[in-house]
């Protein structure tokens, strides 16, 4: 029942805007542009419910608008509605300029859902498009977060996907401030000043240390 009600609300809001805001009623494109801008505004100030409401109203006017779906997906992500967020973000195709932003959201949602196999292609797509990526609507989310998610996923999946931890250490190297872990050199398997008996243990502890470090870095 929630969705139809929202749709009605969005239509009503659009009518109000059209009737009261201007002498001339807004076109559909103008309505979408206006609602999308309002949505991102709400998103920026952390009012994710308000943002979702704006994006849903915009979607009622033009459901296939990529930016509307992007905003909706990110709003839902911040609201921890991970399944719905993934559905909205997955509607944005790889040829769309907004694709990296959608993939960034997908990587975060997949990690939070424990779907680490899905994190890797999404995070790699973002970093391939822009190695210094920053999410335009929340500058606290950038390439370091995605690199961290990528390294984490490789490590979690290492028994199946990266048994030698080569990819894990390669990715980790981009955000790790300590001397790099070298798979073939146990002398490098250190973290927090401790020597670890396995490379996996060392990578795990490096990631633990890194997550604090990257979050304190200035964007």
Partner 1 sequence: MRRLGRSVRLAPLIAAALAAVIATTPSPAKAPSAPRARAAATDRPIPCGAEVFPQFPEEVYAQPARRARPAFSPHVGTREALWTYNYRTSQYDHVDFTCRAVDKHCAILVADSAAGKITDTEIIDITDRFERRAPGHEIGIYDVLSQTFAQPDTVLGDPRIYIALTTIESNYDGGFIAGYVTAGDRLARSANSKSNERHLIVLDIGHGWPIPRSAWVTFRQQTLTHEFFHIIHNGIDRAEDGWINEGIATFSQTLCGFDGEDGEEYFKDTGVGLIETSGDLPSLADYDKSFLLIRYLADRYGDDFVGDVARSPAHGVGSVDGVFTAWHVSDRFRTNVFPAWAVANLARPGTDPVYAYKTYDPLVHQPAKFGDVGSVPIVRSNISLSTYGVHYLCAGSAAEGQIAYPTNSGWAVESVIQQDGSVRLVRPWYATSPGMARDCSPTAAWDVIAASGAPGTYSLTLNAPSMLLPTVAARTPIGTGVSAYQTEVRTQFADVDPTWQIDVSLVSERYGALDRTLRIDREPLAGRCGVNVTVSDVTGTPLPPADVITVHIGDVRGPFGSFLPSTDASWQFTTDTADTQPPQVTIGILANPVLRERLTALVISNEPLHPDPDGPVRLAVNGTETVPLTAEDATGQHWIGTFAVSAAGQYDFLVLAADVAGNPVAPHTARYVVTIGDGGVLARRADGRQRPMREEGTTR
Residues at the site binding partner 1, with contacts judged by CB under 8 A: 48-49, 77, 79-82, 108, 111-114, 139-141, 144-145, 148-149, 152, 155-160, 196-198, 200-201, 204-205, 207-208, 211-212, 214-219
Comparison of 27 and 198: residue with beta carbon closer to partner 1: 198
Least Å distance, CB 159 to partner 1, is: 3
Per-residue DSSP letters for 16-37? HHHHHS-SSPPPHHHHHHHHHH
Nearer to partner 1, 31 or 103 (CB): 103
Query: Could you tell me which of 156, 91, 146, 108 has the C-alpha nearest to residue 124?
Result: 146
The pair phi, psi for residue 195, each rounded to 5°, is -90, 135
DSSP secondary structure, 29-77, as one string: HHHHHHHHHHHHHHHHTT-HHHHHHHHHHHHHH-TT-HHHHHHHHHHHH
Cβ closer to partner 1: 70 or 204? 204
Q: How is residue 28 written in tokens?
A: 């559909």
Residue closer to partner 1 by CB (options 17, 199) is 199
The CA distance from 112 to 187, in Å, is 33
Q: By C-beta, is 34 or 135 nearer to partner 1?
A: 135
CB of 171 to partner 1, least distance (A): 14
Q: Are 135 and 115 in contact (CB under 8 A)?
A: no
Nearer to partner 1, 32 or 141 (CB): 141
Shortest distance, CB of residue 57 to partner 1, whole angstroms?
A: 17
Q: Phi and psi at residue 20, in whole multiples of 5°?
A: -100, -25
Residues 172, 138 contacting (CB under 8 angstroms): no
CB of 187 to partner 1, least distance (A): 18
Rounded to the nearest whole angstrom, what is the least distance from the CB of residue 177 to partner 1 in the complex?
15
Kindly state the smallest distance separating residue 141's Cβ from partner 1, in Å.
6
């Amino acid at each position: 029942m929630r969705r139809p009600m929202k749709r009605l609300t969005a239509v009503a809001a659009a009518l109000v805007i059209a009737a009261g805001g201007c002498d001339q009623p807004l076109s559909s494109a103008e309505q979408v542009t206006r609602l999308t801008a309002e949505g991102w505004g709400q998103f920026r100030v952390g009012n994710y419910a308000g943002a979702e409401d704006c994006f849903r109203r915009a979607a009622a006017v033009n459901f296939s608008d990529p930016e509307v779906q992007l905003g909706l997906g990110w709003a839902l992500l911040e609201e921890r509605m991970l399944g719905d967020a993934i559905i909205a973000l997955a509607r944005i195709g790889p040829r769309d300029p907004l694709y990296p932003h959608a993939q960034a959201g997908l990587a975060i949602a997949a990690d939070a859902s424990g779907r680490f196999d899905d994190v890797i292609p999404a995070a790699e797509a973002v970093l391939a498009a822009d190695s210094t990526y920053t999410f335009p609507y929340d500058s606290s989310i950038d390439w370091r977060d995605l690199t961290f998610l990528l390294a984490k996923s490789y490590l979690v999946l290492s028994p199946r996907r990266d048994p030698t931890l080569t990819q894990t250490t390669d990715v980790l190297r981009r955000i790790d401030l300590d001397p790099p872990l070298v798979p073939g050199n146990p002398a490098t398997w250190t973290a927090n000043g401790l020597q670890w008996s396995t490379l996996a243990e060392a990578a795990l502890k490096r990631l633990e240390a890194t997550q604090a470090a990257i979050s304190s870095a200035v964007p």
